[in-house]
Amino acid sequence: MTKTTLTNSIQTQLNKGEKAFIPYIMGGDGSLTEQILFLQEAGATAIEVGIPFSDPVADGPTIQRAGERALQNGVTLRTILDELREIRAEVTIPLIIMSYINPILSYGIDAFAQACTNSGVYGLIVPDVPLEESDMLKSAFLETDVALIPLVSLTSPPDRIDKIVTAGEGFIYAVTVNGITGVRDGFDEQLEKHLKQLKELSPVPVLAGFGISTPEQVKSIGSLADGVIVGSSIVEAFHQKELEKIRELVVAAKKRVLN
């Protein structure tokens, strides 16, 4: 089965002369349903839903705190998928699950793949499973429309980039910083070259994420890629109930791009 739903949603945005915008939210840190419907109305291309985990090695302090709040609320992978299934008829854009591998193994990989399909999930990001160990996920999701989205770091050597891009589905997640998620003031001078290389190689769109937190960064980094993923500032804005800040980030991506 082709993994086209997520890719097509991004391409539709690009065909309008706009960049894709994918916000990240922590499932269970506040009302999941309200956050998804707000982001959908605001114009998000897709939504990345994080699964709270006790040892989130790729996440910075803002997302770690959000995960802790969700865990204290008793939120699990199962409760999140159940809620997504309940609201599926209201959700018109693709949802993406971002989870570490342990909650998925606890759920059961095959059962998890089926639950994703039933819940309107069209993408999966598992940051602690490298390409070389991803066969167990690929086999479970082979007959689904759930894209397994790979991450490519700034330090990935060319031969590894080739392998990751060849296997990529949905979109390529280009990590813009060396380190964990979180707000950044600036980016590596090699980032422009890195994103250009990925776009030349990749058959699917290339989105940049990690550290992007302001409308200006959405515009500048977005201009180098097919879109951006914004996490920490979205999570914090929801926590502080600063919804206008979220709208400003979405609008920044949707500004028509002159190439």
Name the catalytic one among 29, 34, 41, 59: 59
What's the rounded Cα separation, in Å, for the pair 133 and 142? 15
Q: Residue 207: which region, alpha, beta or left (left: phi > 0; alpha: psi -120 to 50)? A: beta
d(CA 234, CA 207): 17
Residue written as token pair 């600063």: 242
Greatest C-alpha distance within the chain: 47
Structure tokens at 59: 């996440």
Amino acid identity, position 163 = K
Q: Nearest to residue 224, comparing CAs of 188, 184, 181?
A: 188
Q: Assess whether 185 carries a catalytic annotation.
A: no
How many Å separate Cα 213 from the centre of its chain? Answer: 14
Q: HSE (CB half, 13 Å, CA atoms) of 258?
A: 0
Which of the following is catalytic: 18, 29, 48, 83?
A: 48
Residue 189 annotated among the catalytic residues of the structure: no
C-alpha span between 202 and 165 (Å, rounded): 6
Q: Which residues are catalytic, by number? A: 48, 59
